[in-house]
């Protein structure tokens, strides 16, 4: 699977949608991001004074070397499924998994590593695409098409597919307790129709309009 074939825009963004869920009462955090891309989110956390130490891991190595700029304390290139860092056991206050778990062969094993990396009271922030989104229903059941795409729900690098319930179960069975979960429709701009339908149906249709979920979890 060649991640270097992806467009630069696939990697280049600060994940405000995820890091806003971090406990802002805490600062000087030690932060690990798995799937850190160009390291822009880690750089942001350090510049804002939220993090005192930031470590990134990514399978993709940028040929422009932007992943090694000075504000990052360490950047590790490699597949998290094949790496281990006993020196980081109980070390990190915050671990980010931005749209990573769906790319893994054995996400539960990676989550076991993540659990071991967390310091007491630490938290993990996860975002994952929702295969129950109406566009997936339309593509599969109406068009009879499960073809992979360059990006999105059917990204050709996705190995796993989850609905909200499966996301929570995965974390629960990996030694975490989900303390907060949020659908992406909460932050949609101009998606008032979807929000209104969700209200009218008492939340039943939320999963059909949510392309993504955000979860916060702590050690169980």
CB–CB of 125/31 below 8 Å?
no
Gap between the Cα atoms of 179 and 24, Å rounded? 16
pTM of the prediction?
0.87
CA Rg value for the chain: 17
pLDDT tens sequence for the chain (220 residues):
555 555 445 556 899 999 999 987 777 899 999 999 889 999 999 989 999 999 999 998 776 655 565 678 999 999 999 999 999 999 999 999 999 999 999 999 999 999 999 999 999 999 999 999 888 888 888 889 888 888 888 888 899 999 999 999 999 999 999 999 998 876 555 466 666 777 787 777 788 888 999 999 999 8
> 10 Å Cβ neighbour count for 76?
15
The superfamily CATH assigns to domain 3-130+161-184+212-219 is Vaccinia Virus protein VP39 (3.40.50.150)
Gap between the Cα atoms of 10 and 51, Å rounded? 24
Domains of the chain, by residue range, sit at 3-130+161-184+212-219
Helices (DSSP H) in the chain: which residue ranges?
16-19, 40-47, 107-117, 134-137, 164-172, 192-200, 206-209
The one-character DSSP state at 140 is I
């Amino acid at each position: 699977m060649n991640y270097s074939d992806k467009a630069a825009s696939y990697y280049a963004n600060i994940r405000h949608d995820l890091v806003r869920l971090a406990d802002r009462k805490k600062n000087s955090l030690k932060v690990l991001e798995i799937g850190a891309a160009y390291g822009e989110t880690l750089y942001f956390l350090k510049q804002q004074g939220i993090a005192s130490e930031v470590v990134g891991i990514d399978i993709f190595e940028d040929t422009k070397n932007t992943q090694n700029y000075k504000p990052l304390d360490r950047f590790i290139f490699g597949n998290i499924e094949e790496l281990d860092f006993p020196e980081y056991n109980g070390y990190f206050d915050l671990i980010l998994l931005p749209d990573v778990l769906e790319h893994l062969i054995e996400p539960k094993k990676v989550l076991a590593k993540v659990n071991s990396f967390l310091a007491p009271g630490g938290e993990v922030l996860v975002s994952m695409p929702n295969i129950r989104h109406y566009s997936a229903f339309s593509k599969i059941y109406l068009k009879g098409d499960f073809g992979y795409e360059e990006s999105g729900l059917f990204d050709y690098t996705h190995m796993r597919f989850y609905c909200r319930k499966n996301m929570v179960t995965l974390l629960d069975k990996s030694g975490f307790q989900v303390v907060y979960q949020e659908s992406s429709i909460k932050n949609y701009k101009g998606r008032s129709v979807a929000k209104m339908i969700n209200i009218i149906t008492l939340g039943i249709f939320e999963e059909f309009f949510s392309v993504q979920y955000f979860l916060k979890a702590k050690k169980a």
